[in-house]
Structure 1
Amino acid sequence: MTTSRVPLSILDLVPVASGTDTTTALNQSVELARLADSLGYHRYWYAEHHNVVTFASSATSLLIGRAAEHTERIRLGSGGVMLPNHSPLMVAEYYGTLAEMYGDRIDLGLGRAPGTDPTTAAALRRGAAATDTFVEDVVELHRYLGSRDGGPGTVNALPGRGTEVPLWMLGSSLDGAAVAAYLGLPYAFASHFAPQMRHQALSLYRSRFSTEFSTAEIKRPYAMVGVNVLVAPTDDEARYLFTTAQQMAAGIYTGRRGPLQPPVKDLAAVLSHEVAHFVDDFQQVRAVGSPETAVAELEAIVADLEADELIITTYTYDPAHRTRSFALLAEAWGLDSHAE
């Protein structure tokens, strides 16, 4: 199979491994951003999550700012900011400040879900009713980041106004696809954890895409899709190391979420048949294996979903294995390395 090599990007939730701590995870994350910058990855995004011991990615703007201080060319952004948790003005001020500090390297991906449980969502901001104003909030946020002064008596985002930070719409269902199409925004589909609707959602986005609304930022549909990836020198080692991510997915199903666990040789001995079936379906959009295997699987995903870009997520118990995975993939995919 031949296909064009689309850009590769990285999604980081700043995972915390058992036996370590948050500080360690945060330091590992910034080192990985530096590596990604040198290897030629296109974007490095952080995803907002709250009240989950597995991840340390609740404050995306702070993570982006730290990564920007240690990188030179890679685009940095949110994948995403969960807009129901925040006022549009504050988001515009945070990301406008980042843009003023670091120039045109900042992306603002927006999600409709709270990124947490309902109790925590209520503690974060406006309660369950906040999701009803999502489209209006996106429009308001777009206005804050635009170049026009709203006039006397109008609130402006300062910093923020005139930065025109690019907006992205995130989604895992048909709803997000419809909103992205209507608003004329690039679309990132979360097929790495919600694969069931990927074909329908991407088809809907492309068929309904319009540039007529004031928020339109691109002339034609642009779709990025999430993929679970783990690359190792051999297929067997990659599958073994991937059991850490599989155990993490099992914790989502059982409600017993915790730090990343070491890989296991016999996953069937750890997971029941029911849980294993969920995990396999949950992570079905994946590329796990040697560099050759992973590239072939990624090319198949690009062809199947007509993806314009891939954003990959990798979980390993040992951070050195995650670093190696990204380095092996960058070389095999033919990224333009900026390593010294």
Structure 2
Amino acid sequence: MPPHPETSSRRVPLSVLDLAPRSAGMTPRQALEESTLLAQEVDELGYARFWMAEHHGSDTFMSSATALLLGHMAQHTSRIRLGSGGVMLPNHSPLMVAEYYGTLATLYGDRFDLGLGRAPGTDPMTAAALARSSGQLNEFASEVLALQTYLGEPQPGAKVRAIPGEGTHVPLWMLGSSTGGAQVAGALGLPFSFASHFAPDQLREALMVYRDRFRADGATAQVERPTTMAGINVLVAPSQEEAEHLFTTAQLMAIRIRSGQPAPLDPPVDDLASAVPAQLIGLAQAHQAVQAVGDPASVVAKLEAFAAEHELDELIVTTYTFDPELRRRSYRMLAEAWGMPAA
């Protein structure tokens, strides 16, 4: 069962969302090696979780085989919880997901979270090649129930079993970028993580729907009260000016994605307005409206205000820089400014 930090008495836990981003000039292997170094660093710094998100057919992100990557990260870390942020369930059979994550839990113990989403995590043509189910709410909820059953205690007379998997009780999280996931999370009594780092518009409404519809008395409930996490774009540097300069890499990434031209991460630019049309800058700003970019003190203040405004139990932060060392530096500076107890 996920922890229930008291937001009123101390800062909420911080977790990390990673998509194994690849910078221009970097091979896929180098991108995965950099994500491994990041996992090791945030493990030592005291972050709560290291989640990886499923994406397919992208030159930007190397995180298509999420379960394989999490097993690799488990071998190179010792404490931090690892998880999917998330597995896009319409792309997979619940039985196979239960087998994969049940195998991870069998090998490495209770260190894994299984975040579930409905989006395909890719473009329409790749989604068609992957798709196994529609992702409609009723079908999605039914598959979540099946997955939870496979990971639960062995069912007498069951003809289909997840082995390894049954009895591991890998904790489930529901992910969402709209109110749909919030409805399912509330009805099933699951913790809920909202993707406000790229879909900020419905954050407030989704949290309200989740809290209003939360049921702690159902057989599927895994938490006793509504438990929430939200994503936020973060970049910490010694000065506000440097942080904003480095953040142009993330802005260019968002522009490429939103305009259908994904590519490896670009180097930062001195003047974003001279690099791309103004209307595309507006797209990036809307896409990344939930952000904390600046020196350590200003970022901490923004994170505290965001968590308090939405009464969140946890924040999951994501950081993109062209130079992977500067990404790790950002997480180091944030951990120190947050007062994070090192592992």
State the TM-score, normalized to the length of structure 2: 0.96
Deviation at residue 305 of structure 1 after TM alignment: 1.1
Task: Confirm whether residue 213 of structure 1 aligns to residue 218 of structure 2.
Answer: yes
| Equivalent residue number for residue 168 of structure 2 | 163
Task: Confirm whether residue 58 of structure 1 aligns to residue 28 of structure 2.
Answer: no
Deviation at residue 208 of structure 1 after TM alignment: 1.3
Per-residue CA deviations over 1:160-214 (Å, capped at 9, x if unaligned) read 0000000000001011111100010000000000000001111111121102322
Q: Distance in 2 between matches of 1:77 and 1:270?
A: 36
Q: Mapping of 1:73-222 within 5 angstroms?
A: 73-126=79-132, 128=134, 133-147=139-153, 149-222=154-227
Q: Mapping of 1:270-289 within 5 angstroms?
A: 270-289=275-294
Deviation at residue 129 of structure 1 after TM alignment: 6.6
Do 1:3 and 1:299's aligned partners in 2 also have CA atoms closer than 8 Å? no
| Equivalent residue number for residue 264 of structure 1 | 269
| Equivalent residue number for residue 339 of structure 2 | 334
SS in 1 for 2:10: coil
**What amino acid maps onto 2:277 in structure 1?**
S
SS in 2 for 1:79: strand
Q: Distance in 2 between matches of 1:153 and 1:228?
A: 44
Do 2:229 and 2:314's aligned partners in 1 also have CA atoms closer than 8 Å? yes
RMSD: 1.3
Q: Distance in 2 between matches of 1:36 and 1:126?
A: 35
Q: Distance in 2 between matches of 1:253 and 1:285?
A: 16
Per-residue CA deviations over 1:41-69 (Å, capped at 9, x if unaligned) read 00000000001110000011111101111
Q: Distance in 2 between matches of 1:113 and 1:20?
A: 28
Per-residue CA deviations over 1:308-327 (Å, capped at 9, x if unaligned) read 10000000000010010000
| Equivalent residue number for residue 25 of structure 1 | 31
Q: Mapping of 1:288-299 within 5 angstroms?
A: 288-299=293-304
Q: Distance in 2 between matches of 1:174 and 1:41?
A: 28
SS in 1 for 2:331: helix
> Structure 2 unaligned runs (5+)?
1-7
Deviation at residue 125 of structure 1 after TM alignment: 3.6
SS in 2 for 1:164: coil
Q: Distance in 2 between matches of 1:3 and 1:303?
A: 11
Deviation at residue 104 of structure 1 after TM alignment: 0.8
Q: Distance in 1 between matches of 2:312 and 2:86?
A: 19
Deviation at residue 150 of structure 1 after TM alignment: 2.4
Deviation at residue 131 of structure 1 after TM alignment: 6.6
Do 2:243 and 2:294's aligned partners in 1 also have CA atoms closer than 8 Å? yes
Q: Distance in 2 between matches of 1:222 and 1:228?
A: 21
Q: 1:324 to 1:176 in 2, by over 3 A?
A: same
Q: Mapping of 1:227-266 within 5 angstroms?
A: 227-266=232-271
Q: Distance in 1 between matches of 2:61 and 2:113?
A: 21
Deviation at residue 293 of structure 1 after TM alignment: 0.9
Sequence identity of aligned pairs in percent? 57
| Equivalent residue number for residue 12 of structure 1 | 18
Q: Distance in 2 between matches of 1:33 and 1:290?
A: 23
SS in 1 for 2:51: strand
Deviation at residue 153 of structure 1 after TM alignment: 5.0
Q: Distance in 1 between matches of 2:245 and 2:297?
A: 17
SS in 1 for 2:141: helix
Deviation at residue 271 of structure 1 after TM alignment: 2.0
**What amino acid maps onto 2:226 in structure 1?**
P
Q: 1:125 to 1:253 in 2, by over 3 A?
A: closer
Deviation at residue 130 of structure 1 after TM alignment: 7.0
> Structure 1 unaligned runs (5+)?
none
Deviation at residue 278 of structure 1 after TM alignment: 1.3
